[in-house]
Chain A
Amino acid sequence: DSGVTQTPKHLITATGQRVTLRCSPRSGDLSVYWYQQSLDQGLQFLIQYYNGEERAKGNILERFSAQQFPDLHSELNLSSLELGDSALYFCASSEQGLAKNIQYFGAGTRLSVL
């Protein structure tokens, strides 16, 4: 168990809908990352937060947004969903968000857009 908790484990929804994925980092970790894993794109970085502030953006679509709350949990919001958004979404956390820090991954949320 990595200590990173993601809910829900599975999510099935329809095109055009909006969903929210939740992540609780390991106790004491200040940095949270979101990644998307799909067969065609592989594992891609979406966005990083550090202690409530956005630190870096990757290949995140404008339809997607995220935030980190004062208790350090994070939510990833996906709107106007398309079939191509079906993927496994991972959250990871690290202590300080430094390059040398280990990132600990949650079990992921599998999103199916029908």
Chain B
Amino acid sequence: AQSVAQPEDQVNVAEGNPLTVKCTYSVSGNPYLFWYVQYPNRGLQFLLKYITGDNLVKGSYGFEAEFNKSQTSFHLKKPSALVSDSALYFCAVPLNQAGTALIFGKGTTLSVSS
């Protein structure tokens, strides 16, 4: 079965510092991997996805993610954190190779302090 794991419930960083939010995956076949962000009282917003190709994927709001097949990881990164990046971040994989729904990790709360 497809699954993702986010090992950290919370990540705390200071504004201007680099940030990393971790995600590991378990899939059969070629992985499709997604990152979404949820701001308070809002729906989820798409950040970026990995389908194939370059291992470094660039997304919205200056975020990027590094796909590592040997470590089965897809960590979300940003070189310089902003206070406005504080939110709940979800890693996700499709339910199966035929497509359909997304299976989400439990989420990681990112808190950026000024």
Seen from chain A, the residues whose Cβ lies within 8 Å of a Cβ on chain B are 2, 4, 33, 35, 42-43, 45, 48, 55-56, 58, 90, 92, 97-108
B43's partner among A56, A101, A102, A106 (CB-CB below 8 A) is: A106
List, in ascending order, chain A residues with CB within 8 A of B104's CB: 42-43
B99's partner among A45, A99, A105, A107 (CB-CB below 8 A) is: A99
> In B52-90, which residues have CB < 8 Å from any A CB?
90
List, in ascending order, chain B residues with CB within 8 A of A4's CB: 43
- Contact status A100-B102, CB under 8 Å: no
State which size class the interface on B falls in. 20 to 34
- A90-B43, A107-B42, A107-B43 are known contacts. Are A102 and B49 too (CB-CB below 8 A)? yes
Name the residue on A nearest B43 (C-beta). A105
Q: A2-B45, A99-B96, A100-B94 are in contact. List 10 more A-B contacts (CB 8 A).
A: A42-B106, A56-B101, A90-B43, A97-B99, A97-B100, A98-B99, A99-B100, A102-B49, A105-B45, A107-B43
